[in-house]
Amino acid sequence: MTFDADLTACAELVQKSDPDRFLATMAAPVQARPLLFALYAFNIELARAPWASQESMIAEMRVQWWRDAGAEIAEGGSVRRHYAATPLGRLLKPELAACIDGMAEARRWDIYKDPFGDEAEFDSYINRTSGSLMWMAAASLGQADEAAVRGFAYGAGIANWLRAIPELEAQKRIPLLDGTLEGVQALARKGLEHLTKARSDRSAVSKPAGWALLAGWQAEAILKQALQQPERVAQGALGQSEFRRRTGLMRRAILGRW
């Protein structure tokens, strides 16, 4: 599929708002990029929807808009006109688009200031957001075991969540069940365990599908930082240098080992 105005707009949004996934997409084969850019642009728009207004009703309406768009894609019929929804409707398999409903439902947590009820609720949020996004991407590109993909996505999702803690707290959200240093370490350890388990099942994810998992190339390093220096989470100091970030991606892309 050629890059029309819609896909170009998707790529530009991802480059500006999600630079890590942009780099991972550019490291993937050319033929994989249209789907990835459309999917990642959709994810940015959905993630923004709960923060569109201080009025919860307006935010709910924005989330519902994407829920309805996802339902249209899942039904395999015509899809509403939108620079991200339109190409996604052409590129995403209807059966995979069913995941969008769960993603939108999970994002409703972002609208309000209630904490997660328990570990199961928190895990469901990560699985329905990070997990569903990576699963839709991987399953669109090739054969893959869903449990392996979602396991890797859980670890990557925890890494991204820990990096987002300062901003979430600034927005008066309560992002962690246990915000102590020990609680942060336990969460990072759990994320690493999921990464390790997923990689032990690497053979269950085909090489084409594996390009979608490349988006989590920094997860292991970030989780290890949080485990060894949990105070960096509150400081917003998780992450690698630009050199290590890019060389790490390049190495994994060349070896094909997410």
CATH number for the domain that contains residue 157:
1.10.600.10
- Same domain? 107 vs 65: yes
Cα dihedral 100, 106, 108, 112, rounded to 10, equals -160
How many Cβ atoms are within 10 Å of 196's Cβ, its own excluded? 13
**pLDDT band at 1, cuts 50/70/90?**
low
Q: Is 139 found in the same domain as 255?
A: yes
Summarised one tens digit per residue, pLDDT across range 184-231 is: 999 999 999 999 999 999 999 999 999 999 999 999 999 999 999 999
Q: Up-side HSE of residue 74: CA atoms within 13 Å toward CB?
A: 15
Rg (CA), the chain: 17
44 and 121 housed in the same domain? no
The whole-number pLDDT of residue 256 equals: 86
First to last CA, the chain: 26
Do 228 and 141 lie in one domain? The reply is: yes
* Whether residue 95 sits in one domain with residue 126: no
For 233-255, what is the mean pLDDT?
94
Q: Tell me, yes or no, whether 16 and 57 share the same domain.
A: yes
Q: By the 8 A CB rule, do 37 and 10 touch?
A: yes
100 shares a domain with 10: yes
Rounded (5°) CA angle 39-41-42: 65
Residue 68 makes CB contacts below 8 A (sequence gap 6+) with 80
Q: Considering 65, 93, 111, which residue would you say is the last residue of a domain?
A: 111
Residues 121 and 241 in one domain: yes
* Phi, psi values for residue 238, rounded to 5°: -80, 145
The answer on 121 and 86 residing in a single domain is no
Looking at the structure, tell me whether residues 119 and 239 fall in a common domain.
yes
Total domains in the fold of the chain? 2
Mean pLDDT, all residues of the chain: 96
Co-location of 87 and 169 in the same domain: no
What's the pLDDT tens digit per position in 68-89? 999 999 999 899 999 999 999 9
Strands (E), 71-171: none
Looking at 111, 143, 163, the residue that finishes a domain is 111
Residue type for 205, please? V
Nearby residues of 66 by Cβ (< 8 Å), 6 or more positions away: 42, 45, 46, 49, 85, 100, 104
pLDDT digits (tens, 9 = 90+) for 149-173: 999 999 999 999 999 999 999 999 9
8: pLDDT strictly greater than 80: yes
Domain boundary among 49, 76, 111: 111
Question: Residue 205 in 3-state DSSP?
Answer: strand
The answer to whether residues 70 and 117 belong to one domain is no
Assess whether pLDDT exceeds 90 at residue 2.
Answer: no
pLDDT 10s digits, 79-124: 999 999 999 999 999 999 999 999 999 999 999 999 999 999 999 9
Full domain range(s) for residue 97: 1-111
